[in-house]
């Protein structure tokens, strides 16, 4: 092998094994047919939308299902935990450790009652905001410093009906607007991996 070929091959191997070019994109949700189209499962829906656009397939892995998405030298592991929402951190911690992915390279997608429908808010850190999935991730990672993507589902429910609302299906109006919002969500994931968190926040927050 010529020295120049060897150098290019070495560079290619280094790029493909560079831990900073590997990302864990986690969509939070609950498994089971009854939850598929619920507001609480927006994390799953975003990853399903990305997989459909890119022709990816999810395979059963330990603590969830996963698809691998490669884009411009980056590898994105799309994870849908099967632990149910309240134990999401178990899957996140396992795959972070197994794939040696740093906290700054994970991206957790979840629903948020405090944001109007379809509103995107991406942050580098923050509290769990009362969300049980984020609460468990924070507990197991022993940190609030990991990037998260909150997708607004609004709070249009009467007192005492929060659980039914969150675990309820989208309204017809929301369903009609969801595809466009999912497209924006997918673009934010690509931006996170290719352009970094700061640019992604500046570009997509409030979009």
Catalytic residue among 40, 121, 131, 181, which? 40
40 assigned to active site: yes
Strand pairing partners for 122?
Answer: 149
Query: Taking CA 68 as the corner, what is the angle to CA 27 and CA 51, rounded to the nearest 5 degrees?
Result: 60
Angstrom distances, CA of residue 147 to CA of 31, 67, 94, 102: 23, 20, 17, 11
Q: How far apart are CA 180 and CA 184, in angstroms?
A: 6
DSSP element (H, E) containing 10: helix 3-17
The catalytic residue positions are 40
């Amino acid at each position: 092998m010529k020295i120049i070929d060897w150098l290019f091959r070495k560079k290619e191997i280094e790029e493909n094994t560079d831990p900073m070019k590997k990302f864990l994109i986690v969509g939070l949700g609950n498994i089971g047919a009854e939850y598929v189209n619920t507001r609480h499962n927006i994390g799953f829906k975003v990853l399903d939308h990305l997989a459909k656009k890119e022709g990816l397939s999810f395979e059963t892995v330990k603590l969830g299902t996963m698809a691998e998405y490669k884009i411009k030298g980056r590898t994105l592991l799309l994870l849908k935990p099967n632990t149910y929402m309240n134990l999401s951190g178990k899957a996140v911690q396992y795959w972070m450790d197994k794939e040696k992915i740093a906290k700054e390279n994970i991206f957790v997608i979840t629903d948020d009652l405090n944001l109007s429908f379809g509103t995107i808010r991406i942050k580098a850190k923050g509290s769990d905001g009362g969300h049980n999935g984020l609460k468990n991730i924070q507990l197991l990672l022993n940190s609030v410093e990991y990037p998260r993507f909150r997708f607004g589902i609004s709070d249009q429910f009467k007192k005492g009906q929060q659980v039914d609302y969150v675990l309820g299906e989208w309204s017809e109006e929301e369903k009609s607007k969801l595809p466009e919002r999912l497209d924006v969500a997918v673009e934010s994931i690509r931006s996170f991996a290719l352009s970094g968190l700061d640019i992604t926040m500046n570009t997509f927050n409030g979009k």
